[in-house]
């Protein structure tokens, strides 16, 4: 058996949570491979909406094993809250959730350092989610991080105190005011709480599951354009969001990867700062935000909006080896008289569909192609042929330009509002 991967091809919030939930009946295992509670993955079914930050999106299916892999950064306080909330729905989290002992821990001081660093950057800030992501990955790469396995180890307190002492030096140098006593009781309480969960060596576990013939779905967070290596650096997150991240973030060898499901919205959004060539800072952008309810699932911040951008999409497909495309939120564009799509860029008068070294510094003018819009309530449609012809023309164009089939169309936030093509 091999592993399939689901990930975002844009700047995050493409609808990964919904799609993982829709695909889960075909899998025995869902495993998150990177990111942390900067993610907000929304799922809707039975008239209810759930937002998951660290727990994999297969959790609401009773049969499904959910793994938080070594590549994820875990905030015990946040995870405790999330587990307690999910438990109110009756799902047995203790039975189905496995946490990697090698996943790194977000300490309260990591969150404080995130806030202090962003404040110091002023107008140049990344617009981080302030969940402590960057400082935690910095400590991981700097070889001074704490891992989940340390929480149950003998030297927990001495490791914790060493890390906090280092963070305090940093916080003081940044002139940041804080009171750690406001945060520590909840942290230590959450550490005790997590000890009641399955903290295991997930790389052995997941490889054994694969050997046993179990079907594994690896769930990405964020999106390819936020990848630490290939995203719009430095306006990125601090992990590898691409398919390669699934190998290092779960301990799976590359030849075990089978399908790669790449999700894209029928338009683009971005939350936080950084380049966004097709951004519409106008009435169209406002309308996209309003109709698409484009407000962050984690921070509630309004998302920036714009038209679909094929150069970035092609780049993302190349980096990830996408085999199947999934388009979400096409229903949001219903009612637009004209739908625009960026086919290529003009950079210093030269037409290209290659991304420059630095999107921010380059004079990028998107070259748009106009499509006749569509109307009607797409959310009630369940077959591809029911979808308006003008929408299908738009999708056919995307497919023809990209050369990868669009195999699923999402037409609403609910599980049921999904069309297999
Ligand atoms: P994720 O981070 O990729 O899981 O995406 P988010 O959950 O942060 O954001 C996607 C938002 O769009 C959520 O509010 C979803 O409920 C919603 N959504 C997902 N697919 C669709 C769709 O096809 N149509 C509409 N209208 N909403 C969708
Ligand atoms: P999901 O999984 C959208 C953005 C932040 C900021 C940058 C760095 O829900 O798609 P960080 O907190 O990671 O240091 O922030 O990345 N960002 C996301 N944007 N969706 C996400 O996750 C994101 N996670 C981080 O807004 O611009
Ligand atoms: Mg999200």
pLDDT digits (tens, 9 = 90+) for 12-26: 999 999 999 999 999
- What average pLDDT score do residues 99-104 get? 98
Ligand nearest the Cα of residue 51 is 1
| Beta-bridge mates of residue 28 | none
Residue with the smallest CA separation from ligand 1 atom 18 is 413
Instruction: Locate the ligand 1 atom nearest the alpha carbon of residue 39 and give its number.
Output: 2
Tokens representing 8?
Answer: 């975002």
State pTM to two decimals: 0.97
Of the CA atoms within 13 Å of residue 417, those in its CB half-sphere come to: 22
Ligand 2 centroid, distance to 226 Cα (angstroms): 7
**Amino acid 164: pLDDT:** 98
Ligand 2, CB within 6 Å, residue ranges: 8, 11-13, 35, 38-41, 126-129, 131, 133-134, 221-223, 226, 237-238, 271-272, 297
Report, in angstroms and rounded to the nearest whole number, the Rg of the chain calculated over CA atoms: 21
Burial of 63 (0-12, 13-18, 19+ CB in 10 A): exposed
Ligand nearest the Cα of residue 237 is 2
User: Alpha helix (H) ranges present in 122-242?
Assistant: 133-141, 148-151, 156-173, 184-194, 202-211
**Amino acid 358: pLDDT:** 87
Instruction: Locate the ligand 2 atom nearest the alpha carbon of residue 220 and give its number.
Output: 2
**Amino acid 374: pLDDT:** 96
Distance CA 26, CA 253 (A): 22
More confident residue, 300 or 391: 391
**Amino acid 161: pLDDT:** 98
Residue 375 reports pLDDT greater than 90: yes
Question: E-strand spans in 204-353?
Answer: 216-219, 257-265, 268-270, 304-306, 308-309, 324-328, 338-347, 350-352
> Tell me: the pLDDT tens digits for 213-248?
999 999 999 999 999 999 999 999 999 999 999 999
- Assign 296 a pLDDT band (cuts: 50, 70, 90): confident
More confident residue, 297 or 201: 201
Q: CB under 8 Å to 392, separation ≥6 — which residues? A: 384
> Tell me: the pLDDT tens digits for 170-217?
999 999 999 999 999 999 999 999 999 999 999 999 999 999 999 999
Name the residue among 93, 80, 3, 78 with its Cα closest to residue 35.
Answer: 78
Ligand 3 centroid, distance to 46 Cα (angstroms): 20
Residue 56 Cβ contacting ligand 1 at under 6 Å: no
- Per DSSP, the three-state class of 414 is strand
**Amino acid 232: pLDDT:** 94
Active-site annotation holds for 104 = no
- Assign 125 a pLDDT band (cuts: 50, 70, 90): very high
- What average pLDDT score do residues 154-174 get? 97
- Per DSSP, the three-state class of 95 is helix
Distance CA 357, CA 334 (A): 35
Residue 17 Cβ contacting ligand 1 at under 6 Å: yes
Active-site annotation holds for 110 = no
The rounded mean pLDDT for the chain is: 97
**Amino acid 361: pLDDT:** 81
> Tell me: the pLDDT tens digits for 358-370?
888 888 999 999 9
Tokens representing 302?
Answer: 């309004």
Tokens representing 72?
Answer: 């994820």
Distance CA 316, CA 384 (A): 25
Of the CA atoms within 13 Å of residue 179, those in its CB half-sphere come to: 3
**Amino acid 360: pLDDT:** 82
> Tell me: the pLDDT tens digits for 51-98?
999 999 999 999 999 999 999 999 999 999 999 999 999 999 999 999
Which residue is it, tokens 């080896």?
Answer: 321
Residue 290 reports pLDDT greater than 90: yes
> Tell me: the pLDDT tens digits for 301-353?
999 999 999 999 999 999 999 999 999 999 999 999 999 999 999 998 899 99
**Amino acid 297: pLDDT:** 79
Confirm if 278 and 366 have CB atoms less than 8 A apart: yes
Tokens representing 140?
Answer: 């991981």
**Amino acid 183: pLDDT:** 97
**Amino acid 54: pLDDT:** 98
- Which H/E stretch holds residue 112? helix 108-121
Residue 378 Cβ contacting ligand 1 at under 6 Å: no
**Amino acid 246: pLDDT:** 98
Name the residue among 348, 353, 366 with its Cα closest to residue 403.
Answer: 353
**Amino acid 299: pLDDT:** 83
Which residue is it, tokens 């979400």?
Answer: 328
- Per DSSP, the three-state class of 67 is strand
**Amino acid 363: pLDDT:** 87
Q: CB under 8 Å to 166, separation ≥6 — which residues? A: 144
Instruction: Locate the ligand 2 atom nearest the alpha carbon of residue 133 and give its number.
Output: 14
């Amino acid at each position: 058996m091999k592993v399939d991967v689901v990930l975002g091809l844009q700047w995050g919030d493409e609808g990964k949570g919904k799609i993982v939930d829709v695909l889960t009946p075909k899998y025995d295992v869902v495993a998150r491979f990177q990111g942390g509670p900067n993610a907000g993955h929304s799922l809707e079914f039975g008239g209810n909406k759930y937002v998951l930050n660290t727990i994999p999106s297969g959790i609401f299916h009773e049969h499904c094993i959910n793994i938080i892999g070594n590549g994820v950064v875990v905030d015990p306080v946040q995870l405790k809250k999330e587990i307690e909330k999910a438990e109110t729905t009756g799902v047995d989290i203790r039975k189905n959730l496995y946490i990697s002992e090698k996943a790194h821990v977000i300490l309260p001081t990591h969150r404080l350092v995130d806030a202090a660093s962003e404040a110091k950057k002023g107008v140049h800030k990344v617009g981080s989610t302030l969940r402590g992501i960057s400082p935690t990955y910095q400590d991981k790469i700097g070889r001074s991080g704490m891992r989940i396995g340390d929480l149950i180890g003998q030297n927990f307190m001495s490791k914790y105190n060493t890390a906090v002492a280092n963070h305090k030096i940093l916080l003081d140098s940044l002139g940041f005011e804080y009171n750690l006593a406001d945060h520590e009781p909840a942290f230590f309480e959450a550490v005790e709480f997590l000890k009641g969960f399955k903290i295991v060596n997930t790389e052995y576990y997941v490889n054994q599951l694969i050997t046993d013939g179990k079907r594994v779905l690896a769930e990405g967070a964020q999106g390819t354009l936020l990848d630490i290596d290939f995203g719009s650096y430095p306006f990125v997150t601090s992990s590898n969001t691409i398919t390669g991240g699934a190998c290092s973030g779960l301990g799976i060898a590359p030849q075990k990867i089978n399908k790669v499901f790449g999700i894209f919205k029928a338009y683009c959004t971005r939350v936080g700062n950084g380049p966004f060539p097709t951004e519409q800072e106008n009435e169209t952008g406002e309308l996209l935000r309003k109709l698409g309810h484009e407000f962050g699932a984690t921070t509630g911040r309004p998302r920036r909006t714009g038209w679909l951008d094929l150069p970035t999409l092609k780049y993302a497909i190349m980096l990830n080896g996408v085999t199947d495309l999934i388009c979400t939120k096409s229903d949001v564009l219903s009612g637009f008289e004209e739908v625009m799509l960026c086919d290529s860029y003009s950079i210093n008068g030269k037409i290209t569909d290659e991304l420059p070294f630095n999107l921010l510094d380059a004079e990028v003018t998107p070259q748009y192609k106009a499509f006749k819009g569509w109307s009607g309530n797409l959310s009630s449609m369940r077959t591809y042929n029911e979808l308006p012809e003008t929408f299908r023309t738009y999708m056919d164009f995307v497919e023809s330009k990209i050369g990868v089939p669009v195999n699923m169309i999402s037409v609403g936030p609910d599980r049921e509002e999904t069309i297999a093509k």
